[in-house]
Chain A
Amino acid sequence: MIETTSAVLKIDHLVTQFRTENGYFTAVNGLTLNIGKGRILGLVGESGSGKSVTSLSIMRLLPESSARIAEGTMTFLGKDLVRLPSRQMQELRGHDISMIFQEPGTSLNPVYKVGSQVAEVLLLHQQATSGNVMQRVIELFHEVGIPHPAERIHSYPHEMSGGQKQRVMIAMALACNPQLLIADEPTTALDVTIQAQILGLIRKLQQTRQMSVLFITHDLGVIAEIADDVAVMYRGKLVEQGPIEEIFTNPQHPYTRGLLACRPTLESQKKRLNTVADFMDVVENQATGEYTIVPKHAHSERMVLAEKNARDRLFSPRSEVISLGYDVSAIPENRFIPEGTKPLLSVRDLQVYYPVRTGFLRRVTGHIKAVDGISFNVYRGQTLGLVGESGCGKTTTGRALMRLISFTGGEFDFNGIPWSQLSERNLRPHRRKLQIVFQDPYASLNPRMTVEAHLTEAMAVHQLGASKNDRRDMAAQLLVEVGLKEEHLPRYPHEFSGGQRQRICIARALAVEPEFIICDESVSALDVSVQAQVLNLLKDLQEKRGLTYIFISHDLSVVKFMSDMIAVMNQGRLVEYGPSELIYADPRDEYTRRLISAIPQVSEEKLRQRIAAGNKETAL
């Protein structure tokens, strides 16, 4: 157990509630937690589990008009934060407890220079005078690893990258040497290589300053990289807590076990992912709103069946893979698409340039090459994974192939049709064959349209189904196929959770009976446990309907789970293109290697190494 004697913060039976139309909704329900001095506590849970509400309760930053701390105490250095007058709380914030947030892009004030935003904390808490404050800011910028700190203090947030902005946030949080740093999903919005750097930085600063950190995340991989202790939250309650080795090697609660099992990993060869539902059932009592968790046996029949029946990875024709420079002599013939098969989608030298205009006459003086001459083939029934960091051009590629945006050069054929050359008018009757599922299920459904309207609109456009009733029946079948129910048809998007909405988006794409679906970061906005369900669904649908996918993601482990072939994109170009397993086993490009090594790993061996290294550093 965690030592309680040296705890910096002791949370005892915290209850935080939100006012709703039908009384109070309890977001945090009797949370008891200790954060030890000089330790990093990882708080894990899915969205809605109450982990962010916990952090905002500690900071007392919840909106007073709609939220209240109903019960409990939070003892921080002998003071109860729940009952502290707001004036004293204000002095504590930024000085003794500080916080960094998920979105570095929106967490900095866009109209002030970053240097002055950091200086503000020092001035507010009288840690510096206006004379020497900028010198202190430059030192802080240096400490958090911002290059050229003396110049960078004069930058505005929009002039910095996401990782740099998060470093500014960290500098701001650490300016007054706080006892406790609360980091609320600080790396979720960042690219995986930047995430690795930021995690390393937080770890290093924590050790040099011996401060305590409450690190909140939904990603167990990140926890494994950084935390000393772990607490798992589910629906406002703490379900399990303990030192990290214990949680990862011997999880007690079925929810924790489910969370650990549902992450796609780079090593795993699984054809389907576990979900939390394989480990537990939740029995709800409708009258009281209470629920009980019933544990299940870990290896469900579903998993066994899926592993046995699901198809193996399907590579492009042997000659094509060999021409890409891979030695595939050891792989059996049935894993390849037969020679001579025509690709369903064939892309040659696709370019998407955006003009840069400067000067008095707004002349085009250069181009931003979002997509800079990429070529690939996708065969029927295959999944091509398109992976890369933000800004690499992967989304632009997807949209250009959909002909949603115009492209500068190159050609692409779809099913023998010169897709890139069709006029908008001639394209329209064919459009249904190529569909897209977007990233954000909240923004990509029209809030004023029912599920039925979403599903049947495109059917009517393409004259699928004989009558309105006919289309309604088809829509109902689709909902069942994606794991929803017929009675959901007349409902509106806001009545569904994120995962359910993404299922609706998938059903909408399927409604027009496409042959090809582009999944553009389609699971990135979802919780890990929901992500596993949606990934399984996509694979099931592919096998059942013979669909072909381009799966676009920044997450190499997800792409590897989904894809037969992988294309790695960097700065608009394909730096590596080949069979998914071979790319992972033997990356040839430096960029791919960096991408792979930056992915947080959950392995006991790595965990032990990290803890040993950490202890050594602490001892020094």
Chain B
Amino acid sequence: MATYIFRRLLLMIPTLFGILVLSFIVIKSTPGDPASGRFGGAAAAQGGMNAERGTEDAEKAFRKNFKLDEPLYVQFFWFVGRIFRGEMIYYTKQGSIWPDLIPAMKITLMINSIVFLLVYLLAIPMGIFSATAPHSTGDRIMTLTLFVLYSLPSFWVAEMLRLGVLESNLGLPVSGLQSPNADRLSLLPWLWDYTLHLVLPILCMTYASLAYISRQMRAGMLEVVRQDYIRTAKAKGCSPARVIWVHALRNSLFPIITLFASLLPALIGGSVIIEYIFNIPGMGKLTIDSVFSREYDMILVTMMLSAVLTLLGILISDIMYVLVDPRVSFESKN
């Protein structure tokens, strides 16, 4: 197992390098750069305004300093070199990005982990319930509700919830992660305040994935209960509950383990919008702001982080597959 994981981790390196090259090219091919953001751009330079104010020299120095006029490959290797040294900076503010990025990353990871747990903890029993009584009234109601939820775009739901909560005076906070007076609260009230702030964003991020995963769980379960070994279990004299929880459950997990790998990047992508709407200082908000101000380092680092998370998600789902299904071995997985 250790050999397998080590090999897979090594294989990530070329993949990540490829992603890095592609992201770099995509970002560089968007119009504008940090210099034009800071010094007014090409239009201002042509009008001669910058020359009069003496900023033309400053812009030149800025461009030289950040190698913005060098050929693309020079810029790329300069950037790669700095990645290995950890010298990721804001071009405009001239400071390191880490003091902003690390807390934002923690917030995003925490929110996504909670969502992840919630999705799986709720989806599995919901799927089993639907599958054990297919086409019953309960199953039909659940199917319809989940279908409606799945079709609603999360940014719209988020906005509606935010407005609704504001109108109805429910006392639920709709912005940020802490109340203005959070510094003065003791631990328990502070935790309660924090939790209340998380309710709406987590709700918005959970429902759609929950709808999707529980449908998959239901389909997987329905497939498994038709199998011959389920008939064997019944013929042995197992109770209906034992048939489901002991014989069917573990086999029906395969499809949703596969989804694990694709759910992780989807969630992080989705959290960009939700964080923006609820004004949460997470990675999503940071990334969008950086895109607007052409902070290349910040954009690339956040992109690489989500790439790493995605690859780790795939690796984790492969490992879980081996743990759940004895027919799959690390040796045979290639």
Contact = CB atoms under 8 A, between A and B. Distances in A.
B235 A61 contact: yes
A106 B325 contact: no
A108 B237 contact: no
Contacts of B239: 90
B234 interface: yes
A99 B228 CA distance: 12
A64 B331 CA distance: 43
Contacts of B325: 110-111
Q: Which of B7, B234, B235 has the most CB of A within 10 A?
A: B235
A94 B3 contact: no
A99 B7 contact: no
Nearest to B325: A111
A74 to B, nearest CB: 16
A604 B6 CA distance: 66
Interface residues of B, number: 24
Interface in A79-135: 90-95, 98-99, 101, 103, 106-111, 120-121, 124-125
B251 interface: yes
A358 B237 contact: no
A174 to B, nearest CB: 12
Contacts of A358: 331
Contacts of A61: 231, 234-235
Nearest to A95: B237
B184 interface: no
Given A110-B325, A111-B324, A158-B326, A172 B237 contact: no
B316 interface: no
B235 A124 contact: no
**Band of interface residues on A:** 20 to 34
Contact of B236 (A103, A106, A111, A124): A124
A358 B324 CA distance: 22
A357 interface: yes
A156 B327 contact: yes
A144 to B, nearest CB: 16
Given A98-B235, A124-B238, A111 B3 contact: no
Interface string A345-385: 00000000000011010100000000000000000000000
Nearest to B135: A65
B334 interface: yes
Nearest to A125: B237
Contact of B250 (A91, A111, A124, A169): A111
A265 B42 CA distance: 92
A93 B7 contact: no
B263 interface: no
B227 interface: yes
Contact of B3 (A91, A108, A110, A360): A360
B229 interface: yes
B92 interface: no
Contacts of B238: 90, 120, 124
Interface in B175-193: none
B237 A121 contact: yes
A92 B251 CA distance: 26
A362 B334 contact: yes
Interface in B317-334: 324-327, 331, 334
A160 to B, nearest CB: 12
A111 B326 contact: yes
A172 B236 CA distance: 8
Nearest to A118: B236
B253 to A, nearest CB: 9
B279 interface: no
A108 B334 contact: no
B233 interface: yes
B283 to A, nearest CB: 35
A95 B236 CA distance: 8
A59 interface: yes
Contacts of A101: 228, 231-232
Given A107-B231, A109-B251, A358-B331, A91 B236 contact: no
B237 A109 contact: no
Contacts of A110: 229, 251, 325-327
B173 to A, nearest CB: 45
Given A101-B231, A109-B229, A110-B229, A120 B327 contact: no
Nearest to A156: B326
B247 interface: yes
A107 B237 CA distance: 15
A94 B235 contact: yes
A107 B3 contact: no
Q: Which of B229, B236, B327 has the most CB of A within 10 A?
A: B236
B116 to A, nearest CB: 24
Nearest to B254: A111
B237 A90 contact: yes
A111 B227 CA distance: 13
A59 B327 contact: no
Interface in B182-234: 227-229, 231-234
A213 B205 CA distance: 58
A59 to B, nearest CB: 6
Contacts of B235: 59, 61, 93-94, 98-99
B334 A94 contact: no
Contacts of B327: 110, 156, 158
Given A360-B3, A362-B334, A109 B233 contact: yes
Nearest to A104: B228
Interface in B1-44: 3, 6-7
Contacts of A360: 3, 6-7
Nearest to A358: B331
A30 B231 CA distance: 25
Given A90-B237, A90-B239, A106 B334 contact: no
A110 B227 CA distance: 11
A172 B235 CA distance: 10
A107 B247 CA distance: 12
Contacts of A91: 237
A358 B228 CA distance: 33
A124 B237 CA distance: 7
Contacts of A362: 334
A93 B236 contact: yes
Nearest to B251: A111
A509 to B, nearest CB: 32
Nearest to A175: B236
Contacts of B326: 110-111, 156, 158
B236 A108 contact: no
A108 B324 contact: no
B229 A108 contact: yes
A577 to B, nearest CB: 35
Contact of B232 (A109, A111, A125): A109
A491 B308 CA distance: 52
A164 B228 CA distance: 17
Nearest to B334: A362
Nearest to A361: B7
A92 B234 CA distance: 11
B7 A109 contact: no
Nearest to A357: B334
A512 B256 CA distance: 45
Q: Which 9 A-B pairs have the closest CB atoms?
A: A94-B237, A94-B236, A106-B228, A93-B237, A109-B229, A156-B326, A99-B235, A107-B228, A158-B327
Interface of B: 3, 6-7, 227-229, 231-239, 247, 250-251, 324-327, 331, 334
28 contacts: A61-B231, A61-B235, A90-B238, A93-B235, A93-B237, A95-B237, A98-B236, A106-B227, A106-B228, A107-B228, A107-B229, A108-B232, A109-B247, A109-B251, A110-B325, A110-B326, A110-B327, A111-B250, A111-B251, A111-B325, A120-B236, A121-B236, A124-B236, A156-B326, A156-B327, A158-B327, A360-B3, A362-B334
Given A124-B237, A362-B334, 4 more contacts: A59-B235, A61-B231, A125-B237, A172-B236
